[in-house]
Amino acid sequence: MSAFDPELAALMPPAQAASSEQPQRLPTIAELRAQFDQYVTAPFRAYQEPLIPAESAYVVRDETVAVEGGEIIVRTVVPVVEDERKAFPVLVHIHGGGRCVGSIELDDYFLRKLTVDLKLATVNVDYRLAPEHIFPTAVNDCLAALKWVVQNKPLLKADLTKGFLVGGHSAGASLAAVVVHEARDDPFFSGPGQQLTGQVIREPFVIHPDVYPDELKPYLLSMKENADLPPIPRASIDRNIKWYNPPPADPRFSPLLYPSHACLPRAFVQGMELDPLRDDAREYARALRTAGVTVRHIEYPGVTHGFHYGYPAISAAVRVREDLVQGIRWLLEKEA
């Protein structure tokens, strides 16, 4: 295993900078959500808050979307520009948190700045969480949000021919990978200007460890190699999966197992070297390339899963976000 990034190691609690030999009690869902808010959402929001553009530069609204069995909220941010007739590309964002924790508050401030800097509309999806809402609720909610975008282009001042992206981090990346496959095969998205044009896949989980194909087992090693590394050791991953309760081999949970990855939109993929999910990112990128999809994949040495949220000011975290913005710019270009 490579050494930790020095800046990251200096900030992590000493017990986290090395593998733990004694398994610790896993928190309850209420404890886990409180910890996520304290150690992930709060530091990232505090870092991003001074960077938020002036309120006159964008319009933010929470919209209600009807879904099977209820409703969800999507937070929309639309740029304000001098030419009121100008239309924008759209990024649909799906937050991380193992499908059990997190909310649209996590990336809210970052997306406001991204909206203004790149002149695109963003739609931040507050999908329903496990264990209260098990598989495939999160998938269905995110697909409903995608369809809502197509149906509400005037509200978003959107022109999807300029770009229709979906992406997310961690569980959000897994959900994004699922919905790009589902949308490819759904006639709803077959109309002119309704096809997804890009996917932003950041530290994804793309296959359940119990269903690794034999031919991929030599390449899917990080779940074992990095099993005890923070902030999501293997035991936490297994617990979150149990709460979500998916069939392991269902491609809507393990999107690497879709029969085909052809004809998907091009992808920007990020992975972390010391992440149990490192090889998920590698193999998803490789599967897309093999199917003829254009991919940019960046892996960051010496850092762990989602470190850039808890420690947003260190150099490696700044680079991750800078690369993310450039990756989105690339996805919005007309030529690969």
- Residue 203 CA: distances (Å) to CA of 67, 232, 308: 27, 12, 12
Sign of the dihedral through C-alpha 319, 323, 325, 326: positive
Residue ranges of alpha helices (H) inside 119-233 are 137-151, 153-156, 171-184, 222-225
Instruction: Say how far apart CA 105 and CA 60 lie, in whole Å.
Output: 13
3-class state of residue 94 by DSSP: strand
275 catalytic? Reply is: yes
5 catalytic? Reply is: no
Which member of 95, 133, 305, 308 is catalytic? Answer: 305
305 catalytic? Reply is: yes
Which member of 170, 174, 222, 254 is catalytic? Answer: 170
Nearest to 75 by CA among 58, 52, 54: 58
Which member of 5, 141, 275, 280 is catalytic? Answer: 275
- Return the active site residues: 170, 275, 305
